[in-house]
Amino acid sequence: MSTVELTGIGLLTTQTAEFGDLPNAAVLIDGDRIAWVGPAGSVPDADEQVDLGGRCVLPGFVDSHAHLVFAGDRSEEFAARMAGVPYSAGGIRTTVEATRAAGDEALTTRVAALTKEMRASGITTYEIKSGYGLTVHDEARSLQVAAQFTSETTFLGAHVVAPEYARTPADYVDLVCGDMLAACAPYARWIDVFCERGAFDADAARSVLLAGGRAGLGARVHANQLGPGRGVQLACEMGAASADHCTHLSAADIDALASSDTVATLLPGAEFSTRANYPDARRLLDAGVSVALATDCNPGTSYTTSMPFCIALAVREMGMTPNEAVHAATVGGAAALRRNDIGSITPGARADLVALDAPNPIHLAYRPGVPLVSAVWKDGLRVH
Ligand code: NIG
Ligand code: FE
């Protein structure tokens, strides 16, 4: 395997307690892994050298929540919302219609385009959910498409009740837990459910997560996005890897998160695009909750593939320091996917790295909207 030495790193933000932030640093990559981290002068010899000219380097971002398998466009819905029309979970059905009508190739082409954008924004690991098919066939093919791009695939048949079951929602839950799960589980690592008014109540959500668990899938929950509810408590009770959104939290919800292994995944792109109040990240962090930041890339509520944009929102609107936001977008995302091989720069970890045209990662929030990502390595290969 060949080795590559990244030198001329003005500041290396490792996101580890051991190495912290190193000025004038170097990183040695051996194949797909990081082999060595330390001061620029003492790096071992390598087959190839890349001089980063004083740029700062941080771990590749881990986007633990994205809905990339879909067709259609909802820009008019966004424009109407900006003119005062409120968001409701029912908007998902517009995308369901377009997704069912699209061929596999069109879906694949769209995911390829979106993941390319993600890499350009510094994202090196992305989770991809189904959830816009809502039939056995369309959910299974959505996951087959997703699995071509990532091992972090999530079955979200319980996104909303499929339109055919509007009058018999309990039958839809049975379908999700039965034939749909059986067809999807071979392509999925995770199962997710939208626990919210207008989608699934806590009892239905629990059935879905339990069925997923029996099929070997780990749990994640869309929780407390549009209003208060039982989603966060359910996620903690079920040992879910992550409770996502967490926009409307009670003190008891925060206590439950703080005393569990469930990560609170915050998705400020959704509040931005639905003109809603942002979650209170400061309160979560001060309570000792593990926090992740993710894009929630989807055509309805957050059509962004930019982790730097989410970091800027987290800092400006959610009370996070720039360092906390970067930590949440790297180590936090990895924890939300229960991964310890990604999200930090340390020997043995995957060689997933981002170089910024900036002296430090504060610039991600300080220079919002500016494309600062100058190079990205995924598994040791330069991908952007
Ligand atoms: O995470 N909350 C549920 N799902 C998406 C929205 C999907 C849509 O409107 O199409 C979300 O915000
Ligand atoms: Fe989502």
pLDDT of residue 42: 86
Percentage above 70 pLDDT, the chain: 100
pLDDT of residue 282: 97
Question: Does the Cβ of 133 fall within 6 Å of ligand 1?
Answer: no
Same-domain status, 200 and 233: yes
- Reported as a single tens digit per residue, the pLDDT across 217-242 is 999 999 999 999 999 999 999 999 99
Same-domain status, 164 and 180: yes
Same-domain status, 52 and 85: no
pLDDT of residue 274: 95
Mean pLDDT within 303-319: 98
pLDDT of residue 381: 96
Question: Does the Cβ of 270 fall within 6 Å of ligand 1?
Answer: yes
How far is residue 335 from each of residues 176, 219, 241, measured CA to CA in Å?
27, 13, 8
Ligand 2 geometric centre to CA of 61 (Å): 18
- Which protein residue's CA is at the shortest distance from atom 3 of ligand 1? 194
Same-domain status, 75 and 188: yes
Same-domain status, 363 and 221: no
AA letter at 298: N
Same-domain status, 12 and 129: no
Question: Does the Cβ of 115 fall within 6 Å of ligand 1?
Answer: no
pLDDT of residue 267: 98
Same-domain status, 121 and 151: yes
Ligand 2 geometric centre to CA of 178 (Å): 23
Same-domain status, 276 and 129: yes
Shortest CA distance to 13 belongs to which of 60, 70, 82? 60
pLDDT of residue 323: 98
Mean pLDDT within 6-29: 97
Q: At 43, is the pLDDT very low, low, confident or very high (cuts 50, 70, 90)?
A: confident
CB burial string 307-335: b at 16+ within 10 A, e below: bbbbbbbbbeebbbebebbbbbbbbbbbb
Q: What is the signed CA dihedral for 159, 164, 166, 172, rounded to 10 degrees?
A: -60
Same-domain status, 253 and 374: no
Q: Which ligand is nearest to the CA of 194?
A: 1
Mean pLDDT within 73-83: 95
Same-domain status, 307 and 172: yes
Q: At 88, is the pLDDT very low, low, confident or very high (cuts 50, 70, 90)?
A: confident
pLDDT of residue 89: 76
- Reported as a single tens digit per residue, the pLDDT across 172-205 is 999 999 999 999 999 999 999 999 999 999 999 9
Residue with the two structure tokens 């549009």: 226
For the ranges 79-93, 243-257, 325-339, 363-377, the lowest mean pLDDT is seen at 79-93
Q: At 44, is the pLDDT very low, low, confident or very high (cuts 50, 70, 90)?
A: confident
pLDDT of residue 234: 98
Instruction: Please identify, by atom number, the ligand 1 atom nearest to the C-alpha of residue 274.
Output: 12
The best mutation among 73, 129, 159 to test binding of ligand 1, ranked by most ligand atoms within 8 Å of the C-beta, falls on 159
Percentage above 90 pLDDT, the chain: 97
Q: At 91, is the pLDDT very low, low, confident or very high (cuts 50, 70, 90)?
A: confident
Ligand 2 geometric centre to CA of 66 (Å): 6
pLDDT of residue 375: 98
Residue 350 belongs to a domain with what CATH number? 2.30.40.10
Mean pLDDT within 136-161: 98
- Reported as a single tens digit per residue, the pLDDT across 260-300 is 999 999 999 999 999 999 999 999 999 999 999 999 999 99
Mean pLDDT within 160-168: 97
Shortest CA distance to 317 belongs to which of 352, 280, 343, 345? 280
- Separation of alpha carbons 366 and 47, rounded Å: 36
- Reported as a single tens digit per residue, the pLDDT across 323-364 is 999 999 999 999 999 999 999 999 999 999 999 999 999 999
- pTM value is 0.97
Question: Does the Cβ of 78 fall within 6 Å of ligand 1?
Answer: no
AA letter at 72: G
Ligand 1 geometric centre to CA of 272 (Å): 13
The domain containing residue 146 runs over which residues? 61-336
Residue 120 belongs to a domain with what CATH number? 3.20.20.140
Ligand 1 geometric centre to CA of 88 (Å): 9
Q: At 245, is the pLDDT very low, low, confident or very high (cuts 50, 70, 90)?
A: very high
8 Å CB contact between 80 and 345: no
CB neighbours of residue 75 within 10 Å = 9
Using the predicted structure, report yes or no on whether residue 369 has a pLDDT greater than 90.
yes
- Which protein residue's CA is at the shortest distance from atom 8 of ligand 1? 300
Question: Does the Cβ of 298 fall within 6 Å of ligand 1?
Answer: yes
Instruction: Please identify, by atom number, the ligand 1 atom nearest to the C-alpha of residue 222.
Output: 2
Same-domain status, 270 and 348: no
**Contacts of 384 by beta carbon, 8 Å cutoff, 6+ apart:** 119, 120, 373, 375, 376
Q: What is the average pLDDT score of the chain?
A: 97
How many structural domains are present in the chain? 2
Same-domain status, 183 and 217: yes
